[in-house]
Chain A
């Protein structure tokens, strides 16, 4: 089960925040195929947002083939976005943690590190470094 955090000042549409956080949970393996997403009622009781926003987010996830509604039961995860290399216990993550410690020891603060990482990502991934949801458009 995931818990959504809604940031009303982020400038990102609320339904997109739910979509992004669900994908994040799928990538990190916090959500796995067969898991049930919280019901719209559970989400809105905790976040005090409009129920239609949750339904819109779930429809979007369904359109992308990530979840499926089962009538009377809820919305379930169909496939994972987790990759072995990105798991919480992967060597890649451990290396990144080491690197981050070294950057910190060298006197870099959080913003310096974020800027550095963003610039390397930009260099190595180019345009594809930005997740597809960035320029997302509703195509009905």
Chain B
């Protein structure tokens, strides 16, 4: 029974929308994130990342559509203990000591893991007796992360967790996260502006733009689905004939040379064209530079549940 529910994935959105006042922060979002993946949630400011995370954490309710967490609606009380959320501003009680904060975690969470929580705090060299209000931003982040890891959730949602951390702290924190994922198969969603931070860490990518999902899927599959091609530009500008049957994400012309990020349909052959596999960063930059490029979902990222008449 549990397996059946988990087969629907850690997150599954369908027709998902969220409106603030008159504006839509999320519009018509549908995707799937399988359980146990390390997912980078990337996109410009205001693209809907934090809204999506707050919805997944059950702190917001959808205006339209559904967001399922391990097969249940995100607002369902039963999903609470399976999800941990670290918000961007890391809300903690400033008057509590670090030890009190961990005790709060212990009292409120049935699956609490005190050892893990204490280890994360100790590795960051944050004294247990210190008041939370006296800590630096980076240290507060470590305490918030200790709470999230101590909760022993199945899915960790982290909203730009690394913004205020020095490189050593960041490395330790990612190490602690990855160790948790290795030991318990915990899924992680990390929002960031800087994909390079998650290089070698994430195996799944969600790219957002204008309240929609633009790219979704495993990083290997997304990379393999794209090619960077370089060749002669078309005489009168526009897309050269050689690229006509492919999906062209973005082109740039320098003199007589044209570089394009494409999703090849069949063999991207053609004399005089240099074809290379782009890095994940190349793919991402291509889509960021071309906000109107057609979105792409890999097979495992497509929502399987279709909601009718929500």
Name the residue on B nearest A39 (C-beta): B182
Query: What residue of chain A has the Cβ atom nearest to residue B177's Cβ?
Result: A48
Once bound together, how far apart are the Cα atoms of A53 and B38, in whole Å?
12
Interface contact B181-A44, CB-CB below 8 Å: yes
Chain B residues with CB under 8 A of A54 = 182
Closest to B204 in A: A50
Contact A50 B179 (CB under 8 A): no
| Distance in angstroms between the alpha carbons of A6 and B183 in the assembled complex | 21
Kindly state whether residue A83 has any CB partner on chain B within 8 Å.
Answer: no
Interface status of A8 (Cβ within 8 A of chain B): yes
Query: What are the residues of chain B within 8 A of A84 when measuring CB–CB?
Result: none
Q: CB distance A50 to B201 under 8 Å?
A: yes
Residue numbers in A under 8 Å from B177 (CB-CB): 48
Closest B residue to A41 by CB, please name it. Answer: B182
**Bound CA span A39–B182, Å:** 9
B203 in the interface (beta carbon within 8 A): yes
**B243 CB-CB contact with A under 8 Å:** no
CB pair A6–B179 under 8 Å, yes or no, is no
- Residues in B with CB closer than 8 Å to A40 are 182
Distance A50 CA – B198 CA, assembled complex (angstroms): 9
Enumerate chain B residues within 8 angstroms of A47, measured Cβ to Cβ.
Answer: 175
Interface residues on chain B, size class: 10 to 19
* CB atoms of A51 and B175 under 8 A apart: no
Give CA–CA (A80, B179) in the complex, Å: 28
- State in angstroms the CA–CA spacing of A40 and B184 once bound together: 12
Closest to B180 in A: A41
Q: Does B202 contact A (CB under 8 A)?
A: yes
Q: Which of A6, A8, A14, A44 contacts B182 (CB 8 A)?
A: A44
How far does the Cβ of A36 sit from chain B's closest Cβ, in whole Å? 16
- The reply to whether B38 and A45 form a contact with Cβ atoms under 8 Å apart is no
Query: Is B181 touching A8 in the complex (CB atoms < 8 A)?
Result: no
In chain A, what residue has the closest Cβ to B179? A45
A50 to B38, CA, bound (A): 7
Q: Is the CB of A14 within 8 A of B200?
A: yes
What's the Cα separation between A8 and B281 when bound, in Å? 13
Question: Of B171, B176, B183, B203, which one neighbours A50 at CB under 8 angstroms?
Answer: B203
3 nearest A-B residue pairs (beta carbon): A48-B174, A44-B178, A51-B182
23 contacts between A and B (CB under 8 A): A8-B199, A39-B182, A40-B182, A41-B179, A41-B182, A41-B183, A44-B178, A44-B181, A44-B182, A45-B176, A45-B178, A47-B175, A48-B171, A48-B177, A48-B178, A48-B201, A50-B181, A50-B200, A50-B202, A50-B203, A51-B181, A53-B200, A54-B182
B-to-A contact residues, CB < 8 Å: 38, 171, 174-179, 181-183, 199-203
- Chain A positions within 8 Å of B, measured between CB atoms, are 6, 8, 14, 39-41, 44-54
Question: Given A41-B179, A50-B201, 17 more contacts at CB 8 Å?
Answer: A8-B199, A14-B200, A41-B182, A41-B183, A44-B182, A46-B175, A47-B175, A48-B175, A48-B178, A48-B200, A48-B201, A49-B178, A50-B38, A50-B181, A50-B202, A50-B203, A52-B203
